[in-house]
Structure 1
Amino acid sequence: MGTSHRLTDGAALRDLVPRVLASLVRRGEAFDAAEDALQEALIEALRVWPEHPPRDPRAWLAAVATRRLVDARRSEAARARREEEVQAEPPPGPVSDAGDDTLFLLFTCCHPDLAPTSQVALTLRAVGGLTTREIADAFYVPEATMAQRISRAKRTLRGRRLDQPGDLAVVLRVLYLIYTTGHSERVDLAAEAIRLARQLTLATEEPEARGLLALMLLNHARWPARFDAEGRVVTLDRQDRSRWDTRAIAEGVRVLQSALVLQRPGRYQIEAAIAALHDDAASAEETDWPQILAWYDDLVALTDDPPRQDPAAVLGRAVAVGHVVGPVAGLLETDRVRGVLGDRYRWHAVRAYLHELGGDRLAAGAAYAEAARRATNVAERDHLVRQAARVRASGA
């Protein structure tokens, strides 16, 4: 009874799914057909395993899914041709380990022919093992809408060669997008992104993969202090740092150090180094702004073309300049990217912060109000409205 219970446990099945799906796709099965067959195998497993648990659950699922694929082929008009192709294929090689399977599926789901939203949805479905309803809830869209999005993604992959190396940068971008999407009542996407990033670091020695994991850990460590009891946003300088997750910070620092020692710095490693410096400060006043500015200089230097620069990096550097050189110098930095970022609420929010840092409460209040007017996120907008009211009241 104990063994069968473990086999039908949701977490255990979720770990098996990407490994079996990867083995099917790797040997040449169409992605959508392989996933449909595996879903049928999972339904059969839930029916059979409680009474007859298999010795090798992974092999059992692969065998049943393969039978479903064969049955489906036989029912199609091109049965004879497809059966000849299957007979001509070499026998499957040895099953790769979990890390390789996860990496393979991540690259498949992040295929460049897919739109970013489809890459995220397919990754959560195939690699994360989340249900369509859970993904829909996480993105606050109807389940039918998400089902259509996933179906379109699988149709796009139909006929594509999935045995070629993909772009790791795309995989990392998708994982970070999953992390920054947020949380819902049913799914913690940030935690899911961290889980997938952990598996990715097991499958590649690329330091940027470790850099991304470190960045997410170091940022996520502050999550308990990100909102107050009423659910309102609390900015970094006002957070109760005793509520930060020190274990996550320590792990993030270790992962970051293991990446930096390879001396191939990239965006995620640099952003993680900045996050580590914030996390290391016992108070906002003790923040090592000169070191943070040095890292921002490196981050902005990664892209010399201003229109292509990361807005968060440019604005983050402006804040650092404001603390190291002075608020006026920080404002001058924002002026240089007014044409590129001037229509974004974060640009106005940063200017408001720098105006307040310099003691100009009138200008700060106006900038906070303008940032609130342009914000699209409800929580951010409400926070900026309160900031504007606070500054104006203090300057009255």
Structure 2
Amino acid sequence: MKLPGQTGDRTLNDLAADVPYGMRISGAWAWRVGIILLVGGAILWLLSFVTLLIIPLMVAALLSALLGPIVGLLHRHRLPKGLAVAATMVGTVIVVVGALTLVGRQMIEGFSALRGQAVEGIRQVQMWLATGPLQVSSSDMDKYIGEGVDALQNNSSSILSGALSVGSSAGHFAAGLLLTLFILVFFLLEGERIWLFIVKLMPKRAQAATNGAGRRGWGSMVSYVRIQVLVALIDAIGIGAGAAIIGVPLALPLGVLVLFGSFIPVIGALVTGIVAVLLALVANGWVNALIMLGIVLLVQQAESHLLQPLVMGKAVSLHPIAVILTVTAGAGLAGIPGALFAVPLLAVLNSAIRYIARRGWEHEDTAVDDGGPGASSGGGTGASTGVGTRQPPQEPAVTGTQTATSRETNQ
């Protein structure tokens, strides 16, 4: 084939041969990867406008992965599905509210008992400022306090707008919490039907692959949530036990606070660590506070660099480097929600893509049935593939070598 207007004997194949093979492959990869990144960025940009819907949906999915086995256990013991979901939800709310109430009451009582020590600590700080290297006298401190009050009065409008934005954020949080509970109820109650409805939206030939890939991804999410609970427990035990050993008061409520704070990336660890160090400072002085700071940093560094990458990576079949990079990238792109959802999303995508790459649905029964009320005893889209026992379409005959290869792949 000659180019238009070409008078010589060089063809398109001859011209293509002038381009190095590596460059041709790199170019083919480049435009495909560029399109994927462009479409992915556009999807993320569009989703940023509906975060009030997306975040509750993803939180409900994580909670469903955690509570689904409990619902399934109750349902297998002849408890109706609705009652099993209600009992699980009510029990979870009671445990969380009870733990937070215990922490709040003990904190209030403890701070009341530490009030005198706190006043003494403030007096010591004032003495250090006056007699230490800064040489800040009482008149200077009064001057600085007066300047601070004047600054607050002059910027009252900005402070008011900030307070209103905080109130709006609190309203959004309350709305998101209610939406999360509403979605969670239906995920636990009819998660199987919801998943089958999504699968049936796919073309007929893709339904088996979508069903199997989704269930593999859900299994990875369940593993992630369980390991996250284990990591939070280890954090709480480490910091709480360390506080009790060095004599910091309120060690038990501090451990409970660390347990709940560990589920909030970055901010949770920072706030709970500050509370622990301040308790040690007020109760026992600077030396004890520095020891408590060392304990907090040691536990958090071990959790970030050992537990999270190694234990979490093994549970969700991700390399430790992938876990660290994913959390960092998620935090950079979407802040706290990005850090919270980055690893479970990557785990789901990893399991689903690997399943599709090895064409796992060709070696197992993943046919999609109508899924009646008793289609699944667990919440969500459980990792098992027992939904719909209808035989898949007859596949072409395979040789003994191909069968052995598929067995090795499945193993």
**Could you state the TM-score of these two structures normalised by the residue count of structure 1?**
0.22
Which one has the bigger helix percentage? 2
Greater relative CO, 1 or 2 (CA 8 Å, sep 6+): 2
Decide which structure has the larger Cα Rg and report it.
2
**Could you state the TM-score of these two structures normalised by the residue count of structure 2?**
0.22
